[in-house]
Amino acid sequence: MAEYTSILVEREEKVGIITLNRPKELNALNFQLVNELADALEEFDRDEAIGCIILTGSGEKAFAAGADIKEMADKSPIDMLLGGFESWGRIRKIHTPVIAAVNGYALGGGCELAMHCDIILASENARFGQPEILIGVIPGAGGTQRLARTLGKYRTMEIVLTGSPINAKELESLGLVNHVVPQSELMNEARKLANKIAGQAPIAVRMAKEAVLSAFETSLEEGLDIERKNFFLLFATEDMREGMRAFIEKRQAHFQGK
């Protein structure tokens, strides 16, 4: 594992855990942190032994309270362009499923980062929001798009135009948060879910993630094509033979990632 200064990286068997680690700044996302995060996610993505990644924040107050306003305050458009924004694109392209364990504030870039993940678990005290409008800007890492595609136009407009926070329970009822749990249970629940995913046939998991994400980026026709091709492709894997044989023989399947 590479050396990181703004994140903590651990592995527990098939699960990789990344913790945003600037607790005094409520894990505000400076460029260094986002670059490190992209590096660490890619490192886990290359590791065939890792079947799922959990992303969380250190401390009890925040997942991430947004991009680092102190770092951004004096920047020019060119500084922002050259400052490492491509790391967000790298995070978006991770093939391994990523679970966000949102343990407090997920605001601005923090909310956008949670939405880059594939499943969002939240503690009861978690607060989400896109407060950029309050400091004279707008979301810049996908907030307007991912919220609109999940919640629809009207709720998204209110969130983006008022900057008001939303609690985890409300987002659970709107379908953006998968489950809300007590803070003391959050990492246990994330581990349980991560281990369940990491125990599935790895190539099927990858194909499934790709197919679901294509629903955000293609027409229904193209998305159905991607799903069907991935489905057919899985008939070339040993894990597909093993999974179906195990069902017929009434035993547990042993997947090898081949």
- Residues in contact with ligand CO8 by the rule CB under 6 A: 25-26, 28-29, 34, 65-70, 105, 107-109, 131-132, 135, 139-141
CB of 94 to ligand CO8, least distance (A): 17
Helix (H) or strand (E) holding 76: none
Q: Measured from the CB atom, is 89 or 244 closer to ligand CO8?
A: 89
Sign of the C-alpha dihedral, residues 197, 198, 202, 207? positive
Q: Measured from the CB atom, is 115 or 190 closer to ligand CO8?
A: 115
In the residue annotation, 109 being an active-site residue is answered as yes
Q: Measured from the CB atom, is 51 or 131 closer to ligand CO8?
A: 131
CB of 168 to ligand CO8, least distance (A): 15
CB of 137 to ligand CO8, least distance (A): 6
Strand spans (E) along 65-176: 98-102, 105-107, 119-123, 127-129, 166-167
- Cα torsion 24, 27, 28, 32 to 10°: value is 110
In the residue annotation, 112 being an active-site residue is answered as yes
User: Catalytic one among 62, 64, 67, 122?
Assistant: 67
In the residue annotation, 217 being an active-site residue is answered as no
Taking CA atoms, 239 is separated from 98, 207, 246, in Å, by: 22, 13, 10
| DSSP structural state of residue 25 | G
Q: Which residues does the annotation mark as catalytic?
A: 67, 109, 112, 132
